[in-house]
Structure 1
Amino acid sequence: MDIGQWRSGRGTTAADIGLGAAFAVALVFQAVALAVSWGGHYWLFDFTAGVVVCTIALVRRRHRVRATAAGLAVAAGTILVARVAELPAEPGPAMALGLSVLVGSALRTLSVPLAGVAAATGFAVVVLSNLATAPSSSGAVAALNGIGWVAALTVGLCLRLFDAGRKATIDRVRRDERLELAREMHDVVAHHITGIVLQAQATQILARRRPDNPENSLAGIERALAGIETAGSEALTAMRRVVGVLRDTDDAAPAMPGPEHLSELVARFDGHGPPVRLRLPERTSGWPPEVTTTVYRVVQESLTNVSRHAPHARSVEVSVAQDEQAVRVEVLDDAPPAPAASPLRGGYGLVGMRERVEALGGTLYAGPRPREGWSVTATLPVAVREPR
C-alpha cells in the first residue's frame, strides 16, 4: 500500500464512521419526536424508510449511479405513501441527510450529465415533498429538505472544483517531473553521441596512418570500434528511456548531481534539522546517470519533508544499497506520531518523485512506520556497468 492508498483508505473510513454516527443520531431523534407527538407506532414507517436511505448512502461508493437513483426513488415513494396513508410528512431528518449525501456525492464524482440529472431529481423530490405536505402542516419538513438539497448542491460542487484543481496540480507535477528527467537524459544521450563521433574520427585517423606505424594495427582499430559499439549501446538505452518520458522539446537543463553529492546534501540538512546518518554502497560509478539523479532527488525530497512536517524527529537515517538488479534508497525518521488533526506527509513532491521512479521502471513507497516515524523507500532497477 502506498501513501495515496493509505491516506485515501484512512480518510474514507473516518468519514463513514462519522456519517454513520450522524445517521444514527438523526434516526433516533426523529423516532423519539414522532413517538411523542403522534404516539402509537407512527414512527416505525419513518424510521424504516430512513434506515434504508441511510444504508444506501453509506454504501454509495460501490455504484454511485445506482445508489443515487435508489435513494431518490425510495424517498419519492415514501413521500407518496405517507401522504396517502396520512402518516407523518416525509422525508424526515435522517432521510434528508442521506439524500443530501447521495446528491452531493453524485455532483462531486459523476460525469456532468449524470450529476445534472441527480441534482434535478433531488430538486424534484424537494418539490414533491412540498406538494405532498398537508395544508395544516407547518411546512418544516419541506423546508428541511430544501435546505438539505441546497447544502448538497453547494458542497458537491465545491468538492468537485477542489478535486479538479488537485488533479490538475498532480498532472502538472508529473508532467514537470517527466520533463526534468527527459532533459537530464537528453544531456546523457548527447554525451554518448559526442563520444561516438570522437572515437569514429580517431578510427579514421588510425586507418590513414602509414602501415609501418604500430598504432595503425588491426588491434587498435578493433579497440576503437569496440568503444564506438559500447557508447552506441549506452546512447540507445538512454534514448529509449527518453522516448518513454519526453513530453516537451524545450532546451535541455543541466543534470542534477548524483549519489556522490549526497554527503553535501546531508551536511546542509544537518544545520537545519535533526542529525542524519548516511550509509552509501562502496561504489556508485557504474550507475546510469538517470539513476544517480533520481536517488539524489528522492533523498532531497524526503529530507525536505522531514524538515517541514517532522520538526520533532530526533534522527534521520539515509541508506543507499545496491545488488546485481537494483538500487534501493531508504530514508527513515523517528518523529513521534502526529496529532490526528495534523496534515499527513507527502504532498505533490512525492507525486513527482513517484512519477520519476516509475518512469525508470522502479517503485516508491512512502508511509508511516509501525511504531513511530515515517519511511520513504525507492527501488530502481539497474544493470550496473563495469568501469572501463
Structure 2
Amino acid sequence: MIARLVARTFGLSIAVTVAALVVAYLYGGPAALFVCAILAILEISLSFDNAVMNATVLQRMNAFWQKMFLTVGVLIAVFGMRVLFPLVIVWAVAGLAPAAALDLALNPPAVETADQPSYQTIMVQAHPQIAALGGMFLLLIFLNYAFDEDRRVWGRFVEHWLARLGRVRHAAIIVALAVLLICAQIVDPAHRSSVLTSGVIGILLYLSIQGLTAMFDDDELPDTLDPAVPDPSSTRPAERDRPAHLPVGGKAAFMLFLYLEMLDASFSFDGVIGAFAITSDPILIALGLGFIGAMFVRSITVFLVRAGTLTEYRYLENGAHWAIGALAAVLLVSLKVEVNEVISGLVGVVFIVAAMISSIRANRADARAATQTAAGVSGP
C-alpha cells in the first residue's frame, strides 16, 4: 500500500528530474549536469519543512483548492520564485529590465566593475532586503504558533512558557517589531532603511493574508463542525475538546492559497540566494531549484496528506513551526553574519526528526496505556 502510494506520488517528480538533468547535460555538458544535480539536492534538503507546512495548511482546503495549489500553485512556485524572482530583484536593485537582467545573467561582463556589476553581485547586494522581508514573514508564523494557548503542546517547558506569553495582547506583533528594530541597528547603516522597509512589508503581508483568511473563514464555513479531535497527551480541556473545521472553499480557500504561495516564497529565499554561491546561470537555477526541487516539494506535500502522516506523527506540525522559527532566525542573523546554507537546511531537518521521534514515543506510550487499561477491565 505504502509502496504503491510512493510510486504514484513521486513518479512524476522522478520523470521531471530525469528530463531536467538531460536538458542540463544538453545545455552545458557534464559540468552543467553536475551543477544542476547539486542545486536539486540543495533545494530538496532545504524544503522538507516547507512541505510539512504546506501539508498542514493544505488539509484545511477542499479538494478543488488542493488541486489548484498542487497544479497552478506549483507552477507559480517554479516560474515565479525560481525563475522570475531573481530577475525582478535585479530589476529592482539595478534598474535593469527583466530582459536585460536575463541577458546579463547569460552573458556576464568580462570584467566586473562598480558601474557594471555581475548578475550574481546584484543578487548578493539585494540580500538584506530579501532576508528582512522573508525573515519577518516567517518569524510571525512561528510567533503566532508559539503564543497560541489552544494548540497541542510539544514538550514540558518551552512551549508551555511561550503559550503563557501569548496571553499578552498582540504579543507576536510586539516581539516581531522589537526584533526588526534590533536587526536594523546591527545591520550596515547603508542598508538600515531598506531593512526596516522590507521588514515592515513582510509584517504587513502576513497580517493582511491572515486577517483576510480569518474573515472569509468565518463568513463561509458551515455551521456544523467535525467531531472534536481529542489529544490524549494533553490534560487541558482546550486541547482535548477543540473542534476541527471542515475543509474550506471559496474566498477563504483562495486566501489560504495566497498564504501558501507567500510561505513557499519565504522558504525559497535561502535556496535562491544559496544557489548563487554555486552558479549564477538562471537556466541551471530554474532546472535544479525550480523543476526538480519544486516538484519534489509538491510530491512530499501530497504524500504527507494522503498517507495521513500529520495525524500519525502528532508533533510533526510543531516541529515544522520550530523549523520555520529557525529559518527566520537564520535569515535575520544573515543580515550581519554570513550563514552557510547547509546550516539552515540541517536545523530544519533536526526539528522535524525530533518531532517524529517524540510522536513515536507518545504513540507507544498511548498504546501501553490502552493495553494496561484493557487488561484492567478484563481482569477479575
Report the TM-score when normalising by structure 2.
Answer: 0.26
- Greater relative CO (CA pairs within 8 A, separation 6+): 2
Report the TM-score when normalising by structure 1.
Answer: 0.26
Between Structure 1 and Structure 2, the one with more helix by share is 2
For the pair shown, the structure with the greater C-alpha radius of gyration is 1
